Amino acid sequence: MFKKILVPLDGSELAAKVLPYVIDLAKTHDSQITLLYVFYAGVSETFPNWIEEALEKEKKSCELSLAKAAKDLEDQGVKEVKVECLEGSPAREIITYAKDNGMDLIAMATHGKGEVAWVLGSVAAKVVSHATVPVLLFRVIFPKPLQTKEDYFLEVLERGIP
């Protein structure tokens, strides 16, 4: 059913939370997984050479990060893992890559920032709205521990009053 699964990652711990679920999907359906990292750099044509150097550094970081993730997936039994690092608008590149490469599913994490994310838009919302293939979202929440009044005041004292 899902022979080719696209997994957009951004190097964050949150985005990587989707991987255990994708591993299960890939094993169940004998799927190929493509890990895709899109870094945005739309100003490279108008800025000096240091921007080009920063982009090259970002691409190398992307390649190392995805290579490690791919090895982890292979070590856990996923038979075929591909990696892609692209420059551009994340939502647009994810949608285009999925369409151009015959992906059957896009599986990605979202953190559900609430109403602000809907007003400003998020990568996940744009992908869901415009993708031509099914999108499976995994809502990832990092629970915050309860904070006592004493903890709050100590935090304010440490960082200063705004």
Q: pLDDT digits over 120-152, tens only? A: 458 888 999 999 999 999 887 655 555 566 666
pTM over 0.95: no
Distance, in Å, from the CA atom of 75 to the CA atom of 78, rounded to the nearest integer, reads: 7
Cβ atoms within 10 Å of 90's Cβ, excluding its own: 20
Q: What is the CA radius of gyration of the chain?
A: 19
- In the chain the domains, ranked by start, together with CATH numbers, are 4-159 (3.40.50.620)
Task: Determine the pLDDT at residue 118.
Answer: 44
Intervals of the chain under pLDDT 50: 114-120
Q: Which residues contact 130 (CB under 8 A, 6 or more apart)?
A: 91, 95
Question: How far is Cα 64 from Cα 70, in angstroms, rounded to an integer?
Answer: 10
How far is 83 from 117, CA to CA, in rounded Å? 28
Looking at residue 120, its pLDDT comes to: 42
